[in-house]
Structure 1
Amino acid sequence: MSDLLAIVLPTFGLIGLGYGAAQLRLMGERAGDGLSDYVFLLAIPALIFRTLSTGGAVEQNPWGYWVAYFAGVAVVWTLGALCARRLFGRDRREAAIHGFASGQSNTVLVGVPLILQAYGATGATPLFLLLAIHLPIMMTVVTLQIETAGSERRGLAVAGRLARTILTHPIVVALAAGLAAQTAGYQPSGALKAIVDQLAATASPCALVAMGLALKRYGMRGDVKPVLVISGLKLVVHPLIVWLLAVHALPVPPVWAGVAVLFAAMPSGVNAYLVAARYKVGEKTSSAAVAVSTALSVVTVSFWLWVLGVV
């Protein structure tokens, strides 16, 4: 129990601290936006670059790892979209948002800090390798689904805008730079190393506080039934499928399997709301799903940590 608390309390305690600061109006939306921008643009990229550039070359890259995780994504995304269409009468565009929210994990603000807390340096390589393709794949699929569901089809324009978004994303740039430095055998030193180290050290606490501030903005009120369906798919069904495949069916090393399960067990990512807001569809449901799944993940993540034997 003490090991479980040592992992869960620092993570969700900092989220609660951010939420409490927002509730008491000690920090407003502008502070939350600024902190989130800092995390995405500087702190997390610095952490990724430092981890990859100072680590050794990847000796194993098991195919079962990718199959287990993205098979889980495919199942919950499909179920989320089908429930939106068949049970709640939503159109194809909003169904895409429901599916995306069911499969999109909150990787940067919650996943990176918690998984590194649970597995330390041994979990960094599988975590960042999955992070490298998680964003491009998920964003590509949801964008194509929404765009092709509309009356206008602007294939080349959509593809160009999507490519620019992905290729210029700070996380993708940091992953590419870190892998390039690793391949070249380059490690930052001197003043550059000090800057990278200091930025990286702030990544986890700032990300978690930023998540707490975001929860106050999004709120937990929305379409109750769709939000509960999305939260159940994200927090229970997704990690369950990955656990069955990675731990019991496919040849995946234990740490890699654990990282995949915890990655899947993360609550719905903020990107679900950001995409919904951009296309003006499903905003209320996606924002509530982010908040509710994050609140419920205190219990569900603790359960998966226990199942995995991390605690």
Structure 2
Amino acid sequence: MLDLTLLVLPVFGLIALGYLAALTGLLNDRANEGLTGYLFVIGAPALLFKLVTAATFPTAISWGYWIAYYAGMVVVWIAAMAGAAFLFGRSRGETVIAGLSAGQANTVMIGIPIILKAYGDDAAFPIAMLLAINLPITMTAATLMLEGSRSSSGSGIARKLAFGLASHPLLLGIAAGVLAQLVGYRPSGPIGTAVDMLAATTVPLSLVTLGLSLKAYGVKADVPVALMVSVLRLFVHPAIAYVIAGPIFALPPAWTGTVVLFAAMPAGINAYLFAARYGEGVGIASTSVAISTLLSVLGSVIWLRVLGVG
């Protein structure tokens, strides 16, 4: 257990550092916005580009990998929406945010650091592939659910989705990496050094920025709903992924570990940003991010132990 704690301690220690920096006023909201913008547009795309270009593409990807993650995601998304509606009497928009908070994990800021520490370069390709598929699926589903109940036309929703996905920096970074793989290009020389330097900034800055964000967003309201979301996010989703990836499909250790740990990550900041954009369920999203991130310290150690890491 001590080895596992030491594995995740640097990750959550940097989150705590960011929170303390915000709490004491050493870094303010402007710093948070600047760091978030840098990571979203430059740092994270550079890291994803590096991971994809350095990865060894398998000849085939087992359907079990996708089923393990998305079967669990569908279950927790529907369960969160149903719980928010029938147990807590939330509006349609708020139930969508509850579902998104349960289904959208913080894969970039916390998932990548923990998975790379646990499995190293063997996890590079499964990480990149899951990120490439997951972001469009979750954002499209949530947008359709909210926009579908509003006055926007079907063509308007489609245009908005197409533009948002085609211009998303994370997806562009992954696409550039795949293209580089297809043409046999591996960054080297000055370009390779620059990519390595940018990628190296991403993990530590992401963790510190998450700490700043937790202070900015905080626990605003809807604690019961957020607790339900956190349990679904941290324990139910990875349990389903573990059973499907391990006993049913017998995926390789790095692939099983990647899908389970991704599923075990806390609610992502994207859920809060999405809620704030639409003015729906902001309290649910922000509180889910804060509570699930705190509980994910324990959750990460538990799932690493289950996976036999450390």
TM-score by length of 1: 0.97
CA contact (8 A) 1:56 1:182 kept: no
Cα distance, 1:8 vs. partner? 0.5
The answer for the alignment partner of 1:47 in structure 2 is 47
In 2, the alpha carbon distance for the partners of 1:157 and 1:115 equals: 38
Please give the per-residue CA displacement for 1:216-245, whole angstroms capped at 9, x wherever unaligned: 011124112111101111011111111111
* 1:214 and 2:213 are equivalent in the alignment: yes
Aligned to 1:149, the other structure's residue is in SS state coil
Cα distance, 1:57 vs. partner? 2.6
The answer for the alignment partner of 1:141 in structure 2 is 141
Please give the per-residue CA displacement for 1:242-299, whole angstroms capped at 9, x wherever unaligned: 1111111224222101100000000000111111111101001111110110011011
The answer for the alignment partner of 1:98 in structure 2 is 98
In 2, the alpha carbon distance for the partners of 1:245 and 1:118 equals: 20
- Report the residue type matching 1:300 in the other structure: G
- Report the residue type matching 1:12 in the other structure: F
CA contact (8 A) 2:55 2:121 kept: no
The answer for the alignment partner of 2:87 in structure 1 is 87
Aligned positions of 1:48-63 closer than 5 A: 48-63=48-63
- Report the residue type matching 2:17 in the other structure: L
In 2, the alpha carbon distance for the partners of 1:147 and 1:245 equals: 33
* 1:263 and 2:242 are equivalent in the alignment: no
CA contact (8 A) 2:53 2:178 kept: yes
The answer for the alignment partner of 1:167 in structure 2 is 166
Structure 1 stretch 111-120 or stretch 62-71: which is displaced more? 111-120
In 2, the alpha carbon distance for the partners of 1:168 and 1:221 equals: 31
CA contact (8 A) 1:62 1:251 kept: no
The answer for the alignment partner of 1:112 in structure 2 is 112
In 2, the alpha carbon distance for the partners of 1:126 and 1:87 equals: 36
- Structure 1 5/251 Cα, relative in aligned 2: closer, same or farther at 3 Å? closer
The answer for the alignment partner of 1:223 in structure 2 is 222
Aligned to 1:76, the other structure's residue is in SS state helix
Please give the per-residue CA displacement for 1:25-68, whole angstroms capped at 9, x wherever unaligned: 10001101111111111111111111211333333411100001
* 1:279 and 2:278 are equivalent in the alignment: yes
In 1, the alpha carbon distance for the partners of 2:83 and 2:300 equals: 24
In 1, the alpha carbon distance for the partners of 2:295 and 2:2 equals: 21
The answer for the alignment partner of 1:200 in structure 2 is 199
CA contact (8 A) 1:57 1:183 kept: no
Please give the per-residue CA displacement for 1:196-234, whole angstroms capped at 9, x wherever unaligned: 010011111011001010000111241121111011110
- Gapped regions of structure 2 (runs ≥ 5): none
- Gapped regions of structure 1 (runs ≥ 5): none
Structure 1 stretch 44-53 or stretch 126-135: which is displaced more? 44-53
CA contact (8 A) 2:72 2:238 kept: yes
- Report the residue type matching 1:86 in the other structure: F
Cα distance, 1:2 vs. partner? 4.2
In 2, the alpha carbon distance for the partners of 1:11 and 1:291 equals: 15
- Report the residue type matching 1:102 in the other structure: A
The answer for the alignment partner of 1:23 in structure 2 is 23
Cα distance, 1:114 vs. partner? 1.5
The answer for the alignment partner of 1:243 in structure 2 is 242
Aligned residues: 310
Please give the per-residue CA displacement for 1:86-122, whole angstroms capped at 9, x wherever unaligned: 1111122211111110111001111111211111101
In 2, the alpha carbon distance for the partners of 1:224 and 1:138 equals: 23
Aligned to 1:173, the other structure's residue is in SS state helix
- Report the residue type matching 2:133 in the other structure: I
The answer for the alignment partner of 1:157 in structure 2 is 156
* 1:126 and 2:129 are equivalent in the alignment: no
**Paired-residue identity, %:** 48
- Report the residue type matching 1:134 in the other structure: N
TM-score by length of 2: 0.97
The answer for the alignment partner of 1:66 in structure 2 is 66
Cα distance, 1:156 vs. partner? 0.7
CA contact (8 A) 1:64 1:252 kept: yes
- Report the residue type matching 1:288 in the other structure: T
Please give the per-residue CA displacement for 1:120-169, whole angstroms capped at 9, x wherever unaligned: 1011111111000000000000000111123x141111111111111111
